[in-house]
């Protein structure tokens, strides 16, 4: 995974977080999973990441979420969360629209 890809994922995560805060939507774990799944599948479908980079991207997003939670999630749990994220191949464009608008 390149530095550009890593920065892209973090910037999109931050855009989504800012949008959720501005619109007082809240940001639960379930919303994070839906967002991350959709974002990773969008990235791969747009050839922004390769199949082999899905797990790394999910881990980067999970670490960013964890940082926002005060780093309360263990490394083992972050690994499980990233595996969960990449196990779903759906894209919910309504979740992604705020960051691409």
Q: Hey, where are the domains in the chain?
A: 3-100
Write the pLDDT tens digit of every residue in 5-51: 999 999 999 999 898 888 877 778 999 999 999 999 999 999 999 99
Cα dihedral sign, 86-64-53-35: positive
- pLDDT the model gives residue 25: 75
**pLDDT at 52 > cutoff 90:** yes
**pLDDT at 69 > cutoff 80:** yes
Can you read off the two tokens belonging to residue 15?
């855009």
Average pLDDT over residues 1-7: 95
Question: Considering the chain, what is the average pLDDT of its residues?
Answer: 94
- pLDDT-derived band at 91, boundaries 50, 70, 90: very high
Distance CA 39, CA 96 (A): 7
Q: What is the pTM of this model?
A: 0.94
């Amino acid at each position: 995974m390149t530095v550009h890809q890593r920065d892209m994922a973090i910037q999109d995560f931050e855009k989504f977080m800012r949008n959720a805060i501005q619109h007082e939507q809240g940001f639960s774990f379930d919303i994070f999973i839906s967002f991350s799944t959709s974002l990773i599948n969008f990235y791969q479908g747009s050839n922004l990441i390769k199949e082999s980079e899905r797990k790394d991207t999910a881990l980067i997003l999970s670490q960013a979420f964890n940082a926002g939670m005060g780093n309360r999630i263990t490394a083992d749990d972050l690994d499980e969360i990233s595996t969960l994220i990449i196990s779903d191949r759906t894209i919910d464009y309504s979740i992604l629209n705020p960051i691409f608008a």
